Amino acid sequence: MVRSASARLANIFPIIQKLRAALTPNVSYAAKLHKIWKELYGSHCTMAKQGLEDVTGLPYFYNDFLRQQTMKGFSDDAAGYIYGTLLEVGSDTTASTLYGSVLAVLIFHKVQKKAQEELHRVVGRDRLPLIDD
Protein backbone atom coordinates (compact mmCIF):
# COMPACT_ATOMS: atom_id res chain seq x y z
CA MET A 1 0.00 0.00 0.00
CA VAL A 2 1.32 3.45 -0.89
CA ARG A 3 1.72 5.78 2.08
CA SER A 4 2.99 9.28 2.57
CA ALA A 5 6.52 9.87 3.81
CA SER A 6 5.19 11.26 7.10
CA ALA A 7 3.07 8.13 7.67
CA ARG A 8 6.11 5.92 7.13
CA LEU A 9 8.17 8.05 9.52
CA ALA A 10 5.41 7.88 12.14
CA ASN A 11 5.44 4.09 11.84
CA ILE A 12 9.22 3.95 12.23
CA PHE A 13 9.30 6.48 15.08
CA PRO A 14 5.98 6.17 17.00
CA ILE A 15 6.86 9.20 19.15
CA ILE A 16 6.01 11.35 16.12
CA GLN A 17 2.37 10.28 16.52
CA LYS A 18 2.27 11.97 19.92
CA LEU A 19 3.60 15.35 18.74
CA ARG A 20 1.34 18.35 18.88
CA ALA A 21 -0.67 19.17 15.77
CA ALA A 22 1.34 22.38 15.29
CA LEU A 23 4.44 20.29 14.70
CA THR A 24 2.64 17.93 12.36
CA PRO A 25 0.35 20.06 10.17
CA ASN A 26 -0.49 17.15 7.91
CA VAL A 27 -2.21 15.41 10.84
CA SER A 28 -4.53 18.36 11.49
CA TYR A 29 -5.15 18.70 7.74
CA ALA A 30 -6.06 15.01 7.55
CA ALA A 31 -8.43 15.45 10.50
CA LYS A 32 -10.16 18.36 8.70
CA LEU A 33 -10.50 16.30 5.53
CA HIS A 34 -11.89 13.38 7.51
CA LYS A 35 -14.54 15.66 9.03
CA ILE A 36 -15.52 17.07 5.62
CA TRP A 37 -15.70 13.61 4.03
CA LYS A 38 -17.68 12.23 6.94
CA GLU A 39 -20.25 15.04 6.72
CA LEU A 40 -20.54 14.87 2.93
CA TYR A 41 -20.75 11.14 2.41
CA GLY A 42 -22.32 10.49 5.79
CA SER A 43 -25.33 12.53 4.66
CA HIS A 44 -25.63 10.35 1.54
CA CYS A 45 -25.46 7.24 3.71
CA THR A 46 -28.04 8.54 6.19
CA MET A 47 -30.44 9.53 3.41
CA ALA A 48 -30.12 6.12 1.72
CA LYS A 49 -30.61 4.28 5.02
CA GLN A 50 -33.72 6.28 5.82
CA GLY A 51 -35.08 5.67 2.31
CA LEU A 52 -34.67 1.93 2.77
CA GLU A 53 -36.33 1.99 6.19
CA ASP A 54 -39.41 3.98 5.15
CA VAL A 55 -39.54 2.43 1.65
CA THR A 56 -39.23 5.78 -0.10
CA GLY A 57 -35.72 5.12 -1.38
CA LEU A 58 -35.12 5.15 -5.09
CA PRO A 59 -33.18 2.38 -6.82
CA TYR A 60 -29.78 3.58 -5.77
CA PHE A 61 -26.29 2.08 -5.71
CA TYR A 62 -25.96 2.78 -2.00
CA ASN A 63 -29.00 0.62 -1.20
CA ASP A 64 -27.15 -2.47 -2.41
CA PHE A 65 -24.07 -1.24 -0.62
CA LEU A 66 -26.03 -1.01 2.66
CA ARG A 67 -27.13 -4.59 2.27
CA GLN A 68 -23.50 -5.63 1.85
CA GLN A 69 -22.52 -3.55 4.88
CA THR A 70 -25.08 -5.42 6.96
CA MET A 71 -23.91 -8.79 5.64
CA LYS A 72 -20.18 -8.07 5.99
CA GLY A 73 -20.42 -5.98 9.17
CA PHE A 74 -18.21 -3.00 8.36
CA SER A 75 -18.64 0.38 10.07
CA ASP A 76 -20.57 3.40 8.81
CA ASP A 77 -17.29 5.32 8.51
CA ALA A 78 -15.77 2.59 6.35
CA ALA A 79 -18.94 2.44 4.26
CA GLY A 80 -18.87 6.21 3.80
CA TYR A 81 -15.24 6.16 2.67
CA ILE A 82 -15.78 3.29 0.25
CA TYR A 83 -18.94 4.88 -1.14
CA GLY A 84 -17.28 8.29 -1.46
CA THR A 85 -14.27 6.85 -3.23
CA LEU A 86 -16.46 4.98 -5.71
CA LEU A 87 -18.57 8.08 -6.30
CA GLU A 88 -15.50 10.21 -6.99
CA VAL A 89 -13.98 7.60 -9.28
CA GLY A 90 -17.22 7.49 -11.25
CA SER A 91 -17.44 11.26 -11.55
CA ASP A 92 -13.80 11.48 -12.70
CA THR A 93 -14.47 8.83 -15.34
CA THR A 94 -17.60 10.63 -16.52
CA ALA A 95 -15.79 13.97 -16.70
CA SER A 96 -12.89 12.45 -18.65
CA THR A 97 -15.26 10.75 -21.09
CA LEU A 98 -17.21 13.96 -21.69
CA TYR A 99 -14.00 15.95 -22.11
CA GLY A 100 -12.66 13.47 -24.67
CA SER A 101 -15.99 13.37 -26.50
CA VAL A 102 -16.17 17.15 -26.81
CA LEU A 103 -12.59 17.27 -28.10
CA ALA A 104 -13.33 14.54 -30.64
CA VAL A 105 -16.41 16.39 -31.88
CA LEU A 106 -14.40 19.59 -32.26
CA ILE A 107 -11.68 17.83 -34.25
CA PHE A 108 -13.76 15.39 -36.35
CA HIS A 109 -16.64 17.41 -37.82
CA LYS A 110 -17.84 14.61 -40.13
CA VAL A 111 -18.24 12.21 -37.21
CA GLN A 112 -20.15 14.85 -35.25
CA LYS A 113 -22.47 15.46 -38.19
CA LYS A 114 -23.09 11.70 -38.63
CA ALA A 115 -23.82 11.29 -34.89
CA GLN A 116 -26.23 14.22 -34.96
CA GLU A 117 -28.06 12.76 -37.97
CA GLU A 118 -28.38 9.41 -36.19
CA LEU A 119 -29.71 11.12 -33.04
CA HIS A 120 -32.31 12.97 -35.10
CA ARG A 121 -33.29 9.73 -36.86
CA VAL A 122 -33.62 7.70 -33.63
CA VAL A 123 -34.85 10.33 -31.16
CA GLY A 124 -36.29 13.04 -33.35
CA ARG A 125 -35.71 16.77 -33.25
CA ASP A 126 -38.33 17.72 -30.65
CA ARG A 127 -36.89 16.11 -27.49
CA LEU A 128 -33.69 15.08 -25.73
CA PRO A 129 -32.52 11.44 -25.79
CA LEU A 130 -33.57 9.15 -22.94
CA ILE A 131 -31.86 6.05 -21.57
CA ASP A 132 -34.55 3.91 -23.25
CA ASP A 133 -33.49 5.27 -26.65
- Is there a contact between 44 and 85 (Cβ–Cβ < 8 Å)? no
Per-residue pLDDT for the chain (133 aa), expressed as one digit of tens each? 446 777 777 778 877 777 766 667 777 788 888 888 888 888 877 777 777 777 766 666 777 778 888 889 888 888 888 888 888 888 889 999 999 989 988 999 998 899 899 999 999 999 998 888 7
Q: Rounded to the nearest 5 degrees, what angle is found at the Cα of 28, between the Cα atoms of 25 and 31?
A: 150
Three-point CA angle 28, 31, 34, nearest 5° = 155
DSSP 8-state code for residue 57: P
Domain boundaries of the chain, sorted by first residue:
24-122
